[in-house]
Structure 1
Amino acid sequence: MSVLSVFVPVLAASPAAVLVQATEPPAATPVQAPSTKTDKATDETPVIVVTARKSSVTNKIDRRVYDVAARPDAAFSSANDVLARIPSVTVDPRGRIALRGNSQVKVLVDGVEARPGVLNNLQASDIDHIEVMTNPSAQFSSDGSGGIINLVLKKKRKDGLNGIWSVRGDDDGRYSANANVSYKTGRWTANASVGVNRELTVTRTDGRQHWQTTSGLETTTGAGRSTTSPRSSYESASIAYDLSPKDRLQLSGNHYRPRALSKDAGTVLITDLSGVLDDHAESTVNPDRGEGGEITAHYTHTGAIKDEHFDLDITYGSSQSQESSTHRLSHTVPSQADQAYTYLNNGRDSSLTIKGDYERPFGTSRLTAGFQAEQNGSDARSRSENIAAIVPGEADIDTAFSYSRQNLAGYVTWQTPLGRWVVMPGLRIEADTWDAGAVKRNDLRFLPSLNMNRDLSDTTKLVASYSHRTQRPDVFQLNPRRIYWSRLYAYEGNPNLVSQDTDSYEIGYEFADKGFSSNGSLYYRVNKNPQTDTRRVTADQVVIQTVVNADQSRAAGLELTAKGKLMKKLDYSLNLNLFDSEVAGMVGGETLRRQNVTYSGNAIIDYKPRPKDWIQLTLSGEGRGVALQGYKTGYYRLDMTYRHKLTAKWTASVRAFDLLNTSKQTDIFVTPEGDSRTVSRKERPAIMIGIARSFGNTGQ
């Protein structure tokens, strides 16, 4: 939280100092400086401290801005931890981020798409604020039809040497250790971070399938236990030089090394009217490893006119991964020797992004314009060994898949008063080309947007927006290789996917007063050619999951948000999103339409019983999600954080994840051949204890 303190001398007759809080700094009013005389009367003159506190939530014409820089749990939190506490955002038990229940959300870091290795290692202490755009303007790339979340990192650092380190862990082997240090002197600012972490997830899975075959109805039941232990380490550094009071050049880079070991063990029983057809146990060992990094050059220029600035970013990133999976089957029925098969995949990815943005006021109007050029490439080699031994007729693969994408874009927005309204029309033009093996596509899209607001009073505002966006398939969805995740379950991509087009409409009401704010929004979103998961069953009873373009999907809903105080030491934040969703399309010659009314949201309680203690409870969840061939049940979870400030520099914490052990979800698919139901649940909550120490002028 930024604090502006103005010391004003008052008459000796003043009974006490007065503390005044405001959401904006006071106007620049000339203030008589205190006398430098050393007489007794002057020395004993009391002062008024006028403190202006930065608002935790700011509503702009095209986004909501959440200040997280001063959060007391920043030393112990990752980026995903912070996102889970932001209104409109949910993070499900599998770590998937959704905005208003829509998982087609794009996460940016400083306006550039966040690679998974960067986002997974980003610490909350590096984030200044988070911008949430449920209906983005033309300024932003069209990917992310469900909205955009932009994590803006800290740029300003305090003079001298400052930093913080923290460690946390539990008795299940989870741990993390992170350190951040910055040094500022004159025109130079340097910053560096390092960290390691290890997570552990133990999941139980129970499934049942009914399939109609030529010999009659078959029933498959299965039970399994999965242990996943991802580990990673990272290093990042940046150095900035102020060329002049209006020009800054910064060079930053990061390097990360993800590792993971997954072990699965389960049993499968297949029966029909005649009895047991198959009874076997299957175990899988899946070690993954990778390495990657990014380097960014950033130049910013502040113009002669107030609020005029130009930003230029050049980012290059690359990564490589090695994945293997060894499966072993032990049969009881039919009686036969144990079998084993192996799947291997090696991949390399790279990206280059050049992005420029210019913003300039013209009286009461504002122009924003910019460009973006992006080049992405991916090469993957997939190989299997001994697949035919367990899937009759299936041949081993040894394939290579190359993917490349080029995107050129330019945009302009114009914000200006129009009567009692402030309007911001915008237009983005994108030329996009991608090659996915033998398939090549070219897109030229004109993507308009319109954002509007109108002040109804000093505390209330009416807002409205429209945007047209396009969601292109990613490389994993396009790769046609078939991956056997188990003897009876596989995944393959679809190189024939086309882009999804989205038209989104919103109208809302905002209220903000001292100590309380609220928002209400009605929205409608319709998608053409939506990308949706489907399943089919082979003659060997193997379930093949893939992704296809449905005909259309839509969502219409109401979102309500409130933030305020229940009492002096108790703050709250509530978010509830109620919406009706529908998807329609054709799969395997069958015309399908599914519709469902559901919800998503979170509730957060912050309690500060004493200045040195802070307790936060977070309840988050979402309802049943609709799919073209079935649905996914909802979930809810309760997390808690307790922080105690031991001294001015030392802080201890306890974090409890999923206190009620309710992170359970069921996936249900229905096809003409039959249906399947899979229940996944985590075995027990996690409780981690941590400690952090700051040094220099760094506060917590």
Structure 2
Amino acid sequence: MYQTPNPIPQTQPMRLSFLFLLSLFLFVSAARAQQSGFKGKITGRVVDSASTKPVEFATVTLTNTSTQKPVDGTITDGKGQFSFGNVAPGTYSLSISYLGYASTTLPAFTLSPAQPEKTFASIPLQANTTKLQEVMVVAQKPLIEDKGDKLVYNAENDISNQGTTASDVLKKVPSVTVDADGNVQLRGSSNLKVLIDGKPSSILANNLAEALKQIPSDIIRSVEVITSPSAKYDAEGTAGIINIITRKNSLQGVNGRVSGTAGNRGRYANGSINARRGKFGTNASLNFYGNNNRSESFLTRTPRMSEISYLRQEGTARQLNNGLYSQLGFTFDPDTLNAFNLEFSLYKNKFNGTRFQRTEDNQGVQLYDLTNRWNGSGFDVNFGYTHTFKPQQELSVLAQVNQGTSHDIYDNSIQTQENAFISRQLNDNDAPTYEKTFQLDYTQTYKNASRLELGAKAILRDATSNARYNFFRLNKPDSLAISNFDFDQDVYATYLTYAFSLNKKYNFNLGTRYEFTNTQGVFLNTAKNEPKLVRSSFKNDYQNFIPSVTVSRTFKETHTVKASYTQRIQRPQIWYLNPFMQQEDPNNVYRGNPELDAELTHSYELGYNTYFKTTSINGSLFYRQTDNAIQQINREAGPNVILTTPDNIAKNKVYGVSVSGSTKPMPKWSISPNFNLSYIDLRGETLSNSGLQYNLSLNTSYEFNKGITAQFYGNYNSPTQTAQGEYGRYFYSNVSVKKKLLKDKASLSLNVSNPFSRTLEFTSTIDTNTFLQESRNANLARRIGLTFNYSFGKMDSSQRQKKSIQNDDAVGGGK
């Protein structure tokens, strides 16, 4: 029996505005304080003695030789570079160390008013094989890093991520937003590509929003955001690329970790082990998860035309999600010139959702009882071989196979207010996917540090949807409708990039990419009362030349200005194309559009970043113009039925600014704010909308004595515009406390999501010429979890980094 839910009061985020402003003030004040009183300056670059490649995260210690006491310390960036500012006159020495390398100390040198700067062009580190008897704690990376071509969020350093999902992790990534349904946007655009370890995964092939809720956060090491990809990357992903990097270890010896989370909204169990002896290595992980959620929804639809009925809905829903994610990998390095890797991954998921809803319109009151059962599984196989001809020449051969299955069942029974049967609809959909990728890459580095990269790639995709719609009505014969869809997409590409410097001041990265796309689809459909299948098909071939240009200049070693231009393509995939009708209820239906065209985007960006002491600041201005922009469009599809389907709506222009950074006002306190502001202008033949939208977030933590760390995260998102309305504002927060145990081998963490509100509310408005629809969804989002982590094993020097496929060319989609 349906029960009317209690109204949930709306919450306001303004009570935390002061905290945001105060933290931003502290951030700016700390940054300005560190810039004042400049004296001497020391810069340098640390490289591997054998390969001459930069050594990232090496610890550099500055010692005053007169007192023999360290006066400052830092870690190298992605280019192996480091810098010390505000150094007083005196005589100093530098010590450099990194796990797997022999430590080195440079001869003493002197800074004076006559010689206030000292530069070390190249500091070589030699690899060693000295074993560590236990897992060691190395220098912790900052939460946010700017690595020139990408922004990196080091998720493993954020204690509030423990016992959550990938969807929760992405909420904290700069420039990324995640809405109530788990849909992801990058700088206000949902047309992006999400990868796992630089590769596509079958788990992400269908519904991206649901897939991200299945990936445990405990396996995520970091998240990379690439907003201006070079020609080396696949051309697709209008807004850019989000790359989820999982935890793996390439160190000698045997080591691993286990963790478990128990909470009111979810439970997780994870384990991983890594082993490497000489030329052979292996790693494996197994992750189980289960989560639940409850929500309440309210919807009103007001007609603007007399032939359309008003509609009012109130409902309650519950979702249960269980599954596993596993990975097994092997590496073999027979010598310093050759490297092989083979990796397998597997996932399984089971989802059960129930929804009870009261619907009232001009015809009276009806009760809906909706059940949604979804089972998904898939596997990925990756192979890679890299051969180094000389220290400056490298050839990689890569291959990948992805296969996934998806089985959806929607079962909706409709009754009168007196519980008498009216009708029932049962939708059944099988949607397998299969993808093969072959890739060849060659890199040549010259003596003047310029670099040539070229390669070729082929992606062969096949996606199928077999749907059956069963209708049962009172006093009417049963009926069946069939909708089968087979979609093939093949992409063949070549690329060429060249990076070089001019006058040791300007850095250029020029590239071009050619892609040829072949798509074809076949439909086999019936009407409700026609048993005969009708065949139809389509075919479309097109080609694109994709240029990319990036120019940067670094001033005084610590200030870098960068300008870039590139084109991007957005090819719709099976979720956007699948014509299977997914009914949340008989009044709200979602269906893909197999006639979608690809988007083409021109992307311009001007960026600036700087760092000094413990502070880094990153800022950018960007502009995107997208032709054939894909938006979700709502139309009347029958009496009181709204059909939502993606469509091309002409042009979408976005003007924006993004600012992020991190600082440590004191050694144990870190602050990482992030701000994004954009103006969106959607213009089509029949639809248009425009407006400002912004996002503000703050992540701050403090390390107390005795191994205790506390952390707070808050995120506010303003209303965002769509082609036919807007999504309302919302606020998300998290508080965590972590305690290290067992000589830092273990930790216990308490994580509370949304401690200031019982629910997380999302509103939306659809405003058309024929109706106005307003909805509010309230998710019971106060989540409490307790997580235990334990690390074990021995390890020593690291191995070379393997190459991987990056299929960043397609939009995954979501409701």
Opposite residue 285 of structure 1, the aligned amino acid is T
Counterpart residue number, 2:239 = 146
1:637–1:660 contact (8 Å) kept in structure 2: no
After TM superposition, list the pairs within 5 Å mapping 1:371-382 onto structure 2. 371-382=456-467
Indicate the SS of the match to 1:158: coil
Counterpart residue number, 1:340 = 424
1:61–1:451 contact (8 Å) kept in structure 2: no
Q: Deviations over 1:607-634 (max 9, x none)?
A: 1122511222111232222111111112
Q: Cα distance 1:128–1:270, how it changes in 2: closer, same or farther (>3 A)?
A: closer
Counterpart residue number, 1:573 = 672
Q: Cα distance 1:389–1:105, how it changes in 2: closer, same or farther (>3 A)?
A: farther
TM-score between both structures, scaled by the size of structure 1: 0.88
Indicate the SS of the match to 1:112: coil
CA distance in 2, matches of 1:426, 1:27: 39
1:660 and 2:713 are equivalent in the alignment? no
Which has the larger displacement, 115-124 or 559-568?
115-124
After TM superposition, list the pairs within 5 Å mapping 1:54-203 onto structure 2. 58-68=145-155, 76=163, 78-116=165-203, 122=215, 126-127=219-220, 129-153=222-246, 156-172=249-265, 174-203=266-295
Counterpart residue number, 2:502 = 418
CA distance in 2, matches of 1:372, 1:312: 10
1:101–1:622 contact (8 Å) kept in structure 2: no
Opposite residue 187 of structure 1, the aligned amino acid is K
2:438 pairs, out of 354, 361, 374, with: 354
2:623–2:654 contact (8 Å) kept in structure 1: yes
Q: Deviations over 1:198-232 (max 9, x none)?
A: 111211110000124555x6321110111111111
1:386–1:396 contact (8 Å) kept in structure 2: yes
Counterpart residue number, 1:21 = 74
Counterpart residue number, 2:370 = 284
Which has the larger displacement, 613-622 or 1-10?
1-10
CA distance in 2, matches of 1:563, 1:630: 35
Counterpart residue number, 2:400 = 315
* Deviation of the 1:422 alpha carbon: 1.0
1:301 pairs, out of 387, 403, 412, with: 387
Opposite residue 485 of structure 2, the aligned amino acid is F
* Deviation of the 1:27 alpha carbon: 8.6
Counterpart residue number, 1:48 = none
Q: Cα distance 1:255–1:52, how it changes in 2: closer, same or farther (>3 A)?
A: closer
CA distance in 1, matches of 2:561, 2:654: 22
Which has the larger displacement, 683-692 or 128-137?
128-137
Indicate the SS of the match to 2:190: coil
Counterpart residue number, 2:661 = 562
Counterpart residue number, 2:411 = 326
2:230–2:511 contact (8 Å) kept in structure 1: yes
1:101–1:600 contact (8 Å) kept in structure 2: no
Opposite residue 253 of structure 1, the aligned amino acid is F
2:248–2:283 contact (8 Å) kept in structure 1: no
CA distance in 1, matches of 2:597, 2:106: 67
CA distance in 2, matches of 1:619, 1:7: 34
1:249 and 2:328 are equivalent in the alignment? no
Give the total of aligned pairs.
667
Counterpart residue number, 1:491 = 590
Q: Cα distance 1:457–1:388, how it changes in 2: closer, same or farther (>3 A)?
A: farther
Which has the larger displacement, 642-651 or 112-121?
112-121
Which has the larger displacement, 103-112 or 444-453?
103-112
**Which consecutive unaligned segments of at least 5 residues does structure 1 have?**
34-50, 272-276
CA distance in 2, matches of 1:126, 1:266: 37
CA distance in 2, matches of 1:461, 1:190: 40
* Deviation of the 1:93 alpha carbon: 3.1
TM-score between both structures, scaled by the size of structure 2: 0.76
* Deviation of the 1:449 alpha carbon: 0.9
* Deviation of the 1:287 alpha carbon: 1.4
Counterpart residue number, 1:466 = 565
* Deviation of the 1:32 alpha carbon: 9.9
Q: Give the structure with the larger strand fraction.
A: 1
Q: Deviations over 1:264-319 (max 9, x none)?
A: 01101113xxxxx220111111111122111111222344225x433332111111
**Which consecutive unaligned segments of at least 5 residues does structure 2 have?**
1-54, 83-93, 97-102, 108-137, 205-210, 523-536, 797-815
Q: Cα distance 1:545–1:698, how it changes in 2: closer, same or farther (>3 A)?
A: farther
Counterpart residue number, 2:128 = none
CA distance in 2, matches of 1:405, 1:154: 32
1:178–1:196 contact (8 Å) kept in structure 2: yes
1:76–1:166 contact (8 Å) kept in structure 2: no
After TM superposition, list the pairs within 5 Å mapping 1:677-688 onto structure 2. 677-688=774-785
2:747–2:790 contact (8 Å) kept in structure 1: yes
Q: Deviations over 1:50-100 (max 9, x none)?
A: x98766655444323445566667765644444333222233332222222
CA distance in 2, matches of 1:120, 1:210: 34
Opposite residue 113 of structure 1, the aligned amino acid is P
1:597 and 2:692 are equivalent in the alignment? yes
1:58–1:66 contact (8 Å) kept in structure 2: yes
1:519 and 2:614 are equivalent in the alignment? no
CA distance in 2, matches of 1:236, 1:300: 22
RMSD: 3.1
Counterpart residue number, 1:675 = 772
Opposite residue 190 of structure 2, the aligned amino acid is S
* Deviation of the 1:7 alpha carbon: 11
CA distance in 1, matches of 2:62, 2:590: 69
1:326–1:340 contact (8 Å) kept in structure 2: yes
Q: Deviations over 1:88-139 (max 9, x none)?
A: 2233332222222222121122332243358655555655544321121111
* Deviation of the 1:663 alpha carbon: 2.4
Counterpart residue number, 2:746 = 650
Q: Cα distance 1:111–1:369, how it changes in 2: closer, same or farther (>3 A)?
A: farther
* Deviation of the 1:388 alpha carbon: 6.1
Which has the larger displacement, 255-264 or 647-656?
647-656
Indicate the SS of the match to 2:509: strand
Q: Cα distance 1:220–1:185, how it changes in 2: closer, same or farther (>3 A)?
A: same
Opposite residue 604 of structure 2, the aligned amino acid is Y
1:266 and 2:353 are equivalent in the alignment? no
* Deviation of the 1:489 alpha carbon: 1.4
CA distance in 2, matches of 1:523, 1:229: 40
Opposite residue 179 of structure 2, the aligned amino acid is D
Which has the larger displacement, 260-269 or 234-243?
234-243
Q: Cα distance 1:9–1:65, how it changes in 2: closer, same or farther (>3 A)?
A: closer
* Deviation of the 1:658 alpha carbon: 2.4
Counterpart residue number, 1:234 = 325
Which has the larger displacement, 527-536 or 487-496?
487-496
2:215–2:325 contact (8 Å) kept in structure 1: no
1:640 and 2:732 are equivalent in the alignment? no
* Deviation of the 1:8 alpha carbon: 12
Which has the larger displacement, 86-95 or 546-555?
86-95
Indicate the SS of the match to 1:477: helix
Q: Cα distance 1:73–1:686, how it changes in 2: closer, same or farther (>3 A)?
A: closer
Identity of aligned residues (%): 23
Indicate the SS of the match to 2:575: helix
Counterpart residue number, 1:626 = 721
Q: Cα distance 1:696–1:359, how it changes in 2: closer, same or farther (>3 A)?
A: same
* Deviation of the 1:455 alpha carbon: 1.2
Indicate the SS of the match to 1:451: strand
Indicate the SS of the match to 1:116: helix
